[in-house]
Amino acid sequence: MKKEMKNKNDDSKLFAFIAAFLSIIGFIIALLAKKDDKYVMHYAKQSLIIFIIFMIAMVTEWIPFIGKIISPIVNIAGLVFWAMSWIYALSGKMKEIPLISEYAEKMKI
């Protein structure tokens, strides 16, 4: 019985990491494969928000002058949040990424 629990936990950690690492693709994989797993969906939702941050950075790049300043800052923040999500997903605990988790929790998926 204990071995089954460990495997499920490892399985959840793996899918949470995949969701975090593969961004939008990982979110879709998690949504299709582990929609009922709260742990996996916690990190999948955060991954979706991080993907949106990268899309915002890409769009702001087109704004003359200010975009060239804002876009790199948003990209760096996105990279930091992305790396945090990998580490947190492998931790086995539902940790919140600052600023990101607030929006992820509001998603009703």
Dihedral pair phi/psi, residue 107, rounded to 5° = -75, 130
Average pLDDT over residues 6-23: 83
So where are the chain's domains? 2-105
pLDDT digits (tens, 9 = 90+) for 52-101: 999 999 999 898 888 889 999 999 999 999 999 999 999 988 999 988 88
The average pLDDT across 41-53 equals 93
Average of per-residue pLDDT across 22-32: 93
Structure pTM? 0.83
Calpha distance 88→90 (Å, rounded)? 5
Q: What does the block give as tokens for 92? A: 């086995």
pLDDT band, residue 108 (cuts 50/70/90): confident
Neighbours of 98 (CB within 10 A): 9
Roughly what angle, to the nearest 10 degrees, separates helices 23-33 and 2-21? 140
